[in-house]
Amino acid sequence: MNKKEGYAGIDYFRMIAAFLIIAIHTSPLATYNNTADFIFTRIVARTAVPFFFMTSGFFMIAEYNYNADKLKTFIKRTSYIYGISIALYIPVNIYNGYFTADNLLPNILKDIVFDGTFYHLWYLSAAIIGASIAWLLVKKIGLKLALIATAIIYIIGLFGDSYFGFSLQIPFLKSLYTNLFEVSDYTRNGIFFAPIFFVLGGTIASEKWHLSLRNNLIGFIVSFFLMLTEGLLLHKWGVQRHDSMYIMLIPCMLFLFSALTYLRGRRSSTLRNLALIIYIIHPMLIIVVRGFAKTVGLQALLIDNSFVHYLVVGVSSAAASFILVALMARIKVEPKEVCVYDGTDRSWIEVNLDNLMHNARVLQAAMPEDCKMMAVVKAEGYGHGALAVSKCLNKIGITAFAVATIDEGLKLRQGGIQGEILIMGYTSPMRAKELHKYELTQTLLDYDYAVLLNKQGYIINTHIKIDTGMHRLGFNKYDIDKIAKTFKMRYLKICGIYTHLCVSESLEITDVEFTHTQISGFYDLLDILSKQGIKLPQTHIQSSYGLLNYPEIECNYARIGIALYGVFSSGNDKTKLQLDLHPVLSLKTRIVLIRAITKGESVGYDRKFIATRDSRIAILPIGYADGLPRNISCGNGSVLIHGYRVPIVGRVCMDQLTIDITDISNTEIGDIVTIIGKDGQDEIFATEVAENSDSITNELLSRMGGRLKLVNY
Ligand SMILES: *Cc1c(COP(=O)(O)O)cnc(C)c1O
pLDDT tens per residue, range 590-631: 999 999 999 999 999 999 999 999 999 999 999 999 999 999
Pick the catalytic residue: 32, 66, 80, 605?
Answer: 605
Share of the chain above pLDDT 90, in %: 86
Cβ contacts of 44 within 8 Å, gap of 6 or more: 20, 228
Alpha helices in 111-242 (DSSP H): 122-158, 164-168, 171-183, 194-205, 213-237
pLDDT of 189 strictly over 90: yes
514-520-522 Cα angle (round to 5): 105
Distance CA 395, CA 363 (A): 16
State whether residue 56 is helix, strand or coil.
Answer: helix
Please tell me the residue having the least CA distance from ligand 1 atom 6. Answer: 561
Which residues participate in the annotated binding site for substrate? 472, 654
Which residue has a Cα nearest atom 10 of ligand 1?
A: 543
User: What's the CA gap between 579 and 563, in Å, rounded?
Assistant: 9
Count of CB atoms within 10 A of residue 58's CB? 24
Atom of ligand 1 nearest to the CA of 559: 10
**Residue 544 pLDDT exceeds 70:** yes
Identify the H or E element spanning 590: strand 585-590
| Residue 546 CA, distance from chain mean position | 31
Could you give the percent of the chain with pLDDT greater than 70?
98
What are the φ/ψ torsions at residue 557 (nearest 5 degrees)?
Answer: -135, 155
Question: What is residue 620's predicted lDDT score, i.e. its pLDDT?
Answer: 97
Which residue pairs from 548-552 have beta carbons closer than 8 angstroms and sit at least 24 positions apart in sequence?
Answer: 548/575, 548/576, 548/577, 548/579, 549/504, 549/505, 549/507, 549/515, 549/575, 549/576, 549/577, 550/501, 550/504, 550/515, 550/519, 550/576, 551/366, 551/367, 551/368, 551/576, 551/577, 552/368
- The residue whose C-alpha atom lies closest to atom 3 belonging to ligand 1 is 543
Q: Write out residues with Cβ below 6 Å of ligand 1.
A: 376, 378, 424, 500, 543-545, 559-563, 698
Q: Is the pLDDT of residue 64 over 80?
A: no
Rounded to whole angstroms, the Cα distance separating 74 from 131 reads 9
Give yes or no for a contact between 711 and 351, defined as CB atoms under 8 angstroms apart: yes
Binding-site residues from annotation: 472, 654
pLDDT of residue 136: 94
pLDDT, position 3:
40
* Centroid of ligand 1 to alpha carbon of 404 (angstroms): 9
**Closest ligand 1 atom, residue 544 Cα:** 9
Closest Cα to atom 4, ligand 1: which residue?
A: 561
Q: How far is the CA of 507 from the centre of ligand 1 (A)?
A: 18
Best CA proximity match to 120, nearest among 151, 160, 143, 88: 88
For residues 415-443, average pLDDT? 95
The pLDDT confidence band at residue 467, using thresholds 50, 70 and 90, is: very high
* pLDDT, position 338: 62
Integer Cα distance of 347 and 589 in angstroms: 4
CA of 14 to the centre of ligand 1 (A): 46
Average pLDDT of the chain? 94
- Taking the C-alpha atoms of residue 560 and residue 579, their distance in angstroms, rounded to an integer, is 14
CA 400 to ligand 1 center in whole angstroms: 14
pLDDT value at residue 101: 83
Residue 68 reports pLDDT greater than 90: no
Could you give the angle at which helices 213-237 and 249-260 cross, rounded to 10 degrees? 150
Amino acid at position 484, single letter:
A
Q: Is 186 a catalytic residue?
A: no
Dmax over CA atoms of the chain, in Å, equals 103
Q: Is residue 608 annotated as a catalytic residue, yes or no?
A: no
Q: Give the atom of ligand 1 at the shortest distance from the alpha carbon of 698.
A: 8
Å from CA of 554 to ligand 1 middle: 18
Helices (H), 378-459: 378-383, 386-395, 406-414, 432-437, 447-454
Dihedral, CA of residue 466, residue 468, residue 473 and residue 477, to nearest 10: 50
Least confident of 203-212, 477-486, 652-661, 682-691: 203-212
User: Measured from the CA of 562, which atom of ligand 1 is nearest?
Assistant: 8
pLDDT(70) > 60: yes
β partners of residue 444: 464
What residues form DSSP beta bridges with 616? 596
Q: What is the pLDDT of residue 2?
A: 36
CA distances 214 to 26, 134, 259, 467, 712, Å, are 34, 29, 8, 45, 39
* Residue 426 reports pLDDT greater than 70: yes
Chain segment 498-507, per-residue pLDDT in tens: 999 999 999 9
User: Which of the following is catalytic: 378, 411, 465, 477?
Assistant: 378
Is the pLDDT higher at 146 or at 2? 146
Q: What is the pLDDT of residues 565-589, one digit of tens each?
A: 999 999 888 999 999 999 999 999 9
| Rounded Cα–Cα distance for residues 383 and 705 (Å) | 5
Ligand 1 centre distance from Cα of residue 451 (Å):
26
Residue 11: C-alpha distances to residues 7, 65, 81, 181 (Å):
7, 24, 19, 35
pLDDT of 418 over the 90 cut: no
- What is d(CA 188, CA 98) in angstroms, rounded to the nearest whole number? 22
Q: Which domains does the chain have, with CATH numbers?
A: 1-42+268-337 (no CATH), 49-266 (no CATH), 349-565 (3.20.20.10), 585-684 (2.40.37.10)
For a mutational test of ligand 1's pocket, the pick from 373, 376, 581, i.e. the residue with the most ligand atoms closer than 8 A to its C-beta, is 376
| Residues 352-367 pLDDT 10s | 999 999 999 999 999 9
> How buried is residue 434: exposed, middle or buried, by Cβ count under 10 Å (0-12/13-18/19+)?
middle
Residue identifier of the C-alpha nearest atom 7 of ligand 1: 544
Please compute the mean of the pLDDT values over residues 227-244 and round it to a whole number. Answer: 96
Dist. CA 541 → ligand 1 center (Å): 10
Atom of ligand 1 nearest to the CA of 376: 4
Between helix 194-205 and helix 48-60 the angle, nearest 10°, is 50
Residue among 543, 581, 696 to mutate when testing ligand 1 (max atoms within 8 A of CB):
543
- Pocket test of ligand 1: the residue of 443, 471, 559, 562 to mutate, having most ligand atoms within 8 Å of its CB, is 559
For the chain, the C-alpha Rg in angstroms (whole number) is 33
Q: Give 163's pLDDT tier (boundaries 50, 70, 90).
A: very high
- Tell whether the model's pLDDT for residue 302 goes beyond 50: yes
pLDDT confidence of residue 1: 36
Let me know if 283 is exposed, middle or buried by CB neighbors in 10 A (0-12, 13-18, 19+).
Answer: buried
Name the pLDDT band for 333 (thresholds 50, 70, 90): low
Beta-carbon contacts of 73 under 8 Å, excluding residues fewer than 6 positions away, are none
Containing H/E element for 21? helix 8-26
* pLDDT score recorded for residue 66: 67
pLDDT at 705 over 90: no
Does the pTM surpass 0.85? The reply is no
Q: Specify the pLDDT at position 332.
A: 67
**What pLDDT, on a 0 to 100 scale, did the predictor assign at position 103?**
85
Least confident of 121-130, 329-338, 648-657: 329-338
